[in-house]
Structure 1
């Protein structure tokens, strides 16, 4: 076991973010990656604003960040990696021993060690640091000619590709996406790449609706505009697949009305823990309701799609800021009126 003192973006229980020295331990069987940039995720924002992300509550200072790219500084023998190689870092590390892992459902592993997560205590530190130590298999090499700003979207895009896979065959389907933040917009792009025939997006923000159109939506609607949404529930619903990416209770409940009988609803937005839900309508329409959590094997697919420019995420990139300015960067990322995705750089 070795120790390396690095500068990192650390959040305290009081939600205070600072750029400070941090003692990182690593083993020679791990790869050491010099971090070059990382995207600020919604969970980072929740820790910053509320000291928690869903059911994960900060109990001690923790290094934030899990949307990372960098270059290999040290590669263990036999890892297939090479010093200087550009890599995207998969932030998930399942136990590989439990029944869920053996069933090919590693994203549901109850012992998952996910970077920058306060789910367990001690918390799992993230990668907003000068260096990060990870298992070699977490490092996905990419073409050095690819745009690193785009490759840094690999983790959120993997989440969205997984959601699209949960929905099944989208070829020729009519799709509704509620919530046009970074995840909703990447879901739109992934659904378009998967063959969806028509995609409608909803969001309260005019800025987000504009981005949804830029990312591939055929229409972008304010859900409060009843003149536009009234017909969506006609004949039992008009959408083959509805993908809920906002976490807003009203949006979650509306999915049942807008999805056609026999259709599919994918829930990937995290909102309040409990809501009133129209179970009766779900039942009589025989709708399929599926959750979509993180990703399971889609991370490398996301890297390849970004590498080949099958998906261009750069319309979502609102700002690039140095890691030393992490606190104002988080504040900017939290302002939906001004920013979609903010990336921190070294």
Structure 2
């Protein structure tokens, strides 16, 4: 163990839209824990909800897309050693519930609701984690690229749940980080046509830069009336990935499917959609969700990032912001002034 300070900096939530960088105690490692010095942590769309909209509890700090270096290891923490370069991985599932037995850890009955657990995030100098919730940074992989592993794992899980395959036509609603990563990943899968619908001009440019064949604005979509439940629109797609969490986008997305098509709900939203049940019935449509990752989602993501096949620099905003700039970066993301993934350097 290296000598550690008693306190560290953390971006502590004070209330909706209020963050204060405070000195807080450095977490104790514990018997099975690992303490990591955080090098970089990405800002997730869920972080915007937690902070700007106050979904999380005051006194907590967010951040779950992180990379760093091990600085302390508990006696029961297994193979990790001080100095190891690591990537924050998924929370350890219970391993015994029906979801875990089906190799679907995203459905683990022991999981916490987002923003409601007591774990301190990685918008801080140090992050304590379980030894089982870390992955080694692959040799030669830039830490900036590795910071995309968590959101890429989510995108890959959405593609898996949607059954996306080579030769299909796919519509992505929303070109935020998950939508953009899904587009970039599909470009490596020989998907026949990728269309992205996005109201923000910067994000439309991003979608094209990472592999979309064409981009549309929401008003460009044709949505049949409720009196035409079986009508299939021109240019209908096999799969819709709804990555915005926007009610209108969800409702319009359902109408863009071929018969037997699938819509995957990936983006989180509070305003619930109203789906036409007759359209679902007559066209035998599937609506499913995608929460978190496949059982080997982080391994898949790191392998794809290490392959060099993704346009990493197009996906990332240049440089990194300090903790003191976190709230401004969140506001810029929420207001559409930034399009790519923003990395924070605590």
Structures share fold, TM-score greater than 0.5:
yes
Deviation at 1:235, TM superposition (A): 5.5
Partner of 1:55: none
The structure richer in strand per residue is: 1
The question of whether the paired residues in 2 share the 8 Å contact of 1:65 and 1:128 is answered with yes
1:46 aligns with 2:49: yes
The question of whether the paired residues in 2 share the 8 Å contact of 1:236 and 1:259 is answered with no
For structure 1, which segment, 325-334 or 123-132, has the greater mean C-alpha deviation from structure 2 after superposition?
325-334
For 1:210 and 1:60, locate their aligned partners in 2 and report how far apart those are by CA, in whole Å.
36
* 5+ long unaligned stretches in structure 2: 225-230
Q: CA RMSD in A?
A: 2.3
Partner of 1:148: 143
For structure 1, which segment, 213-222 or 21-30, has the greater mean C-alpha deviation from structure 2 after superposition?
21-30
C-alpha distance after superposition, 1:158-214 (max 9, x if no partner): 000000111125111011111111111111112222331111111011111111011
1:157 aligns with 2:115: no
The question of whether the paired residues in 2 share the 8 Å contact of 1:18 and 1:327 is answered with no
C-alpha distance after superposition, 1:107-145 (max 9, x if no partner): 12232258xx4224xx32211111111111211112342
Partner of 1:303: 302
For 2:279 and 2:189, locate their aligned partners in 1 and report how far apart those are by CA, in whole Å.
28
CA separation of 1:3/1:102 partners in 2, compared to 1, >3 Å: closer, same or farther?
Answer: farther
C-alpha distance after superposition, 1:72-121 (max 9, x if no partner): 1124567222321211101423233433223322212232258xx4224x
For structure 1, which segment, 32-41 or 292-301, has the greater mean C-alpha deviation from structure 2 after superposition?
292-301
Give the one of 50, 55, 68 matched to 1:70. 68
For structure 1, which segment, 171-180 or 67-76, has the greater mean C-alpha deviation from structure 2 after superposition?
67-76
1:330 aligns with 2:325: no
1:218 aligns with 2:220: no
For 2:98 and 2:288, locate their aligned partners in 1 and report how far apart those are by CA, in whole Å.
21
Give the one of 283, 286, 290 matched to 2:284. 286
* 5+ long unaligned stretches in structure 1: 53-57
Deviation at 1:238, TM superposition (A): 1.7
Aligned residue for 1:305, secondary structure, equals helix
1:37 aligns with 2:47: no
Give the one of 258, 261, 264 matched to 2:259. 261
Partner of 1:313: 312
For 1:3 and 1:285, locate their aligned partners in 2 and report how far apart those are by CA, in whole Å.
61
The question of whether the paired residues in 2 share the 8 Å contact of 1:150 and 1:312 is answered with no
The question of whether the paired residues in 2 share the 8 Å contact of 1:94 and 1:113 is answered with no
The question of whether the paired residues in 1 share the 8 Å contact of 2:57 and 2:116 is answered with no
Partner of 1:94: 93
For 1:166 and 1:147, locate their aligned partners in 2 and report how far apart those are by CA, in whole Å.
29
1:119 aligns with 2:116: yes
The question of whether the paired residues in 1 share the 8 Å contact of 2:29 and 2:74 is answered with no
CA separation of 1:43/1:260 partners in 2, compared to 1, >3 Å: closer, same or farther?
Answer: same
For 1:59 and 1:182, locate their aligned partners in 2 and report how far apart those are by CA, in whole Å.
24
Partner of 1:12: 14
Partner of 1:27: 30
The question of whether the paired residues in 1 share the 8 Å contact of 2:15 and 2:51 is answered with no
Equivalent pairs, count? 333
For 2:317 and 2:58, locate their aligned partners in 1 and report how far apart those are by CA, in whole Å.
30
C-alpha distance after superposition, 1:268-290 (max 9, x if no partner): 11123422111210110011211
C-alpha distance after superposition, 1:302-337 (max 9, x if no partner): 112112223233212224111232222322232313
Give the one of 268, 271, 274 matched to 2:269. 271
